[in-house]
Each structure stands twice: as C-alpha cells, then as structure tokens.
A and B are shown apart, each in its own frame.
Chain A
Amino acid sequence: MAKTVVLQRKPLSLSERTYLPQIVTGLKTTFSNMFKGKVTLQYPEEKPNIPKNYRGIPTLVKDPNGREKCVSCQLCEFVCPPKAIRITPGAVPESEDDREHVEKAPQEFEINMLRCIYCGYCQEVCPEEAIYLQDEYSLSGYSRDEMINKKEKLYELGGTLPDQHYKWDKKKNAEDEGNDH
C-alpha cells in the first residue's frame, strides 16, 4: 500500500529569500536562449509537414481510371453531424458505358465548409471510398457562397487516389462472365 510521506520543506536561506540568485539564473537562461536556433516556420513560404492521417478538407476522389467513385448513397449526408453535406442524386450519364450497372451518381454534391467540423465521419462511412479528408487545411473566401464547395471543386481538390478493389469492375465481370463461386 502506498504510504504518504509529508516532506518537510527546508526553510529558505537568506540569499534565497531575496530571490536575487534565482532571478540571475533565470536571466542567464533567457539570455542563452537568444542565441539558439529558431523553431518557427516562415509560414506562407515554408509549409509544415502534414502527417498521412491528417484530416483536412473533405474531398471527392476518382479512381485511377478517372471515373467518379461516388454512387450518391447519401450515407455521408446522413452521418454528417453538422449537416454540412447535401447530395442531389442523379443517374449515371449515358456516355459512361463502363459504369452502366452502377445505379446512381451524384447530380450535385455540396459540402458547406462553414458547417464542416472536419470529424471525418463521411470518410469512415463511405462504402465506395469516394470521400477523403486530405492534407489541404487552408481555406478562405470572400463570401458565404464561396465557402460552399460544389462537386467540380470537390473533384478538383480530391484528384485521383489509388484503388485496390475496383469494386464495380469486379461486379461487371461477375455479371458478364458468371460468378466465381
């Protein structure tokens, strides 16, 4: 069992009670600090290193073949705690014939960055791995409208990320050539 020991403080000596030696020590410390290296970044010119799992601005990504990954299932819209996401579902455009078995695509996808709290739930919940919080953190605008990221802006910010699964390709193969098992 832990035992409490009350330590008796030694009474301060005369030089300690004037505080002067301690002040001199402090002055020495601050003075030597003046000649040490700087730890700050010159921000707009130098940027900090962003860790890989950083939660920056939510973006929409495309697969390596440049195809839209989002299927507008609206799970992110429902999970979003501050209700920052608004999706208008639509059909997959006729021109993209390799995605015809994908039922839906977002007609409009809006993330209101004035509401977004960067929680990352949308990324976690997305079954298509289509929404990612990437390393961009600096966002500014002159009006409220500017702060609502539209679909084009979201794809522009997101770019393309490597994909391990090609889920819809597999599904198409299965449909065309029969199931493996």
Chain B
Amino acid sequence: MFDFEMLFMIGLKVLFALLMIGAVMTMAGYSVLAERKVSAWMQGRVGPNRTVLPLVGYVPFAGKFLKGMGMFQPLADGLKFLFKEEIIPGHVNKFYYNLAPIVALVPALTTMTVLPFGEFFADNGESFPLMLANLEVGILFILAVSSLGVYGIVLAGWSSNSKYPFLGGIRSSAQMISYELAMGLSLLPIFLWVSEPGTGAMGLSLVDIVDSQKQSPWLLLVQPLSALIFLIALFAETNRLPFDMPESETDLVGGFHTEYGGFKFGIFFVAEYAHIVVGSAIFTIVFLGGWHFMPWMSDPWPATWIGSLIGVGWFLAKTIFLIFFFIWIRWTLPRFRYDQVMNLGWTKLLPLALINLIFYVCLVTWLDQPPA
C-alpha cells in the first residue's frame, strides 16, 4: 500500500515549498513597490504614499512612516487585480490565452526549489544548507526551468491573435534563445574554478559554490568578466529595461500582455518580478558569496541558530541590493533597439563569453599543474 512515511515527507516538503513561495511572492510584490518608490526618488517625485490600512495610520510614528513609504501599496495593487473584471477578448484562442499566465509563473516559482539561502548549524557543529532540494546539478536545473518561462510569453503572444502581442512573443523567444547561451557559457569558468582537484567540490552544486567563497575572495573579484556577462544575460533573460523587447511600450503598446487585463495581467507582472528576485538570488549565490560575510573574512557571527539567522539576513540584504541595482539600471539606461539586442548578444557577448571560457580553461590548467 501507500508509503505513509513518504507521504508525510512529501507533505512536509509541500509545506516548506508553500512557505518559500510565500516569501518569494512577497518579495516580488515589494519589488514592485521598490520599483515605484526608487523611480520616484530618482525623478524627484514622492511615489506611492497614501495607501494605509484602517487604524494603522493612527499609530504615532510607525503608522505615518509606513504610510509614507507606501508599505500597504502591494496589498492594494493585488486586491485591485483580483477585483477587476476578467475580460477575455473575442478574437483570442481561449485555451492558450488562459494557460499562458500560468505557464509564465510556474517556472519562475519552480527555480527557487534549488536556491540555498542560508545554512543551519547542528548541535554537533555540522552545517547544512537551508534549501528545499539539494541538487547536485542545481544551477543547470535553474537554467533549464527558467528557459521554460519563455513559453508563457510566446503562448500569450500567439494566443492573443493580435499583432503587437505577437511581435512581443517573437522578440522574446529570439532574445531568450540568444542570451541563454552566453549565460551558460559565463557560468562554466566559475565551475571550472570552484571544482579544482583536491577540494571536495564537484559537480554543479550551488552550495559548493557558496562554500568556496568562505574566507576567500568572492567570485565577482576572481572573475569579473564572467560576472559582467552573466549580469547582462540576466537582464536580458528577465526582460529588464535595457532589454525589455517583449513589452517595450513605445513600439509594442504593451508587448505580449497587451490583450491581458485583471488578474491574468497581474500574474504576468508578478512572474516578471519573481524572475528578478530569483535572478538576484542566483547572482548573490554565485558571485557575491551567498550568506558569507565579506571577501577574505570569516563570518563574524557564531555558529548557532543566531548565526544562521544573521546569515539568511545577510543573504537577503545582498539580494535586495541586487534588486535595487536592477531598478537603478532600469531608470538610468534607455532601451536598446531590437537589432542592437541581437547584435550585442550574438556578435559581442557570445564571443566574449567563449574567450573568457578559453582563458580560464588555460589558467585553471596552468594553476592545477602538479608541482614538478
């Protein structure tokens, strides 16, 4: 019959997964707020500062501060999306039109199963990474699943049966295919560097990468070019502003979600920001030392549950800084033209990534020579 212990384990995992989804979705919601606030500050505006829950506004100091920072705005936005009328235009392919937002959101939320976000210190001094599933090929899993995210956009563009979403969908798939390659190639030198013979690290585990940056320089300082290529490809993969071809509002109205409204548009919106959150977390893990303190320094916090909490907090702080960086870039740089995006991807970034890879292959081979 059924294996009840296994069912219990599955139930526990589902619970953890739901918690994680809650955390990432909250971060995605507040990234939207951060986007609005930071853009407002950069443009000499105030940003959302009026939404407040009943009674909270009367709390002497904190209430006014929370209201001024727009802390309840994501709640109001979410409710607005929920209560809006669900319009399905007559000219769409209904099945795929309804399927597309789900297909866009699921990969964004699936990638976080293999994201380590801290370490737990057991009583006997051992440490375990805090994550849902410790996969030996974690980074490949993330690349694979996030590459499925393009289906949501392509299907939305196609099923809308209208020209602007269609162009958005076509652009998006072309862009994602172009930059996935550079992204993967920029990560290879990292793994070459980390899994040197003699160390325990092998394979493509994200935990090993973080641990290799303990008390040693961050990989950002070791391989700045890889980090740069990865960051550029990350901007392209998350459809952020210098590369937001699929939804560039000046030439495509709204891009792939032109025909969407209400909650389905909200799902696209949240999926986009969930991508940014997960992307920032990956960059933190791979290049910024994850939950370890500073380059060349050992963690100043004790190896207890307090230490692991501070570690998670430090990891979150780095991730939030990267989210801020995403927003910062968006409100600084203008958008590339479509042909410029393709040109940059194929004729600049890809050869650069290849040269970078070959350089580090030679370097690692030279460094790993057994002493004669």
Contact = CB atoms under 8 A, between A and B. Distances in A.
Partners in one complex: yes
Interface string B30-54: 0000000010011111100000000
Contacts of B46: 38, 40, 42
Interface string A29-52: 111011011111010000000000
B45 A39 contact: yes
B65 interface: no
B333 A23 contact: yes
Contacts of B332: 23, 26-27, 29-30
Contacts of B38: 34
Contacts of B43: 33
B44 A36 contact: yes
A37 B41 CA distance: 9
Contacts of A42: 46
B42 A34 contact: yes
Contact of A39 (B44, B329, B331, B333): B44
Interface in B318-372: 328-329, 331-333
Query: How would you classify the secondary structure of chain B's contact residues: helix, strand, loop or mixed?
Result: loop
Contacts of A27: 328-329, 332
A90 B268 CA distance: 63
Interface string A123-167: 000000000000000000000000000000000000000000000
Give the interface residue-count category, chain A: 10 to 19
Contacts of A30: 42, 328, 331-332
A33 B44 contact: yes
A116 to B, nearest CB: 31
A9 B13 CA distance: 62
B333 A26 contact: yes
B45 A40 contact: yes
B43 to A, nearest CB: 7
Nearest to B38: A34
Given A27-B332, A29-B332, A38 B44 contact: yes
Contacts of A39: 44-45
Nearest to B352: A18
Nearest to B49: A42
A100 B116 CA distance: 92
A34 B333 contact: no
A21 to B, nearest CB: 13
Contacts of A37: 44
Contacts of B333: 23, 26
Nearest to A19: B333
Which 7 residue pairs spanning A and B have beta carbons closest together?
Answer: A39-B44, A34-B41, A26-B332, A30-B332, A30-B42, A40-B45, A33-B42
9 contacts: A27-B329, A30-B328, A30-B332, A31-B42, A31-B328, A33-B44, A36-B44, A37-B44, A38-B46
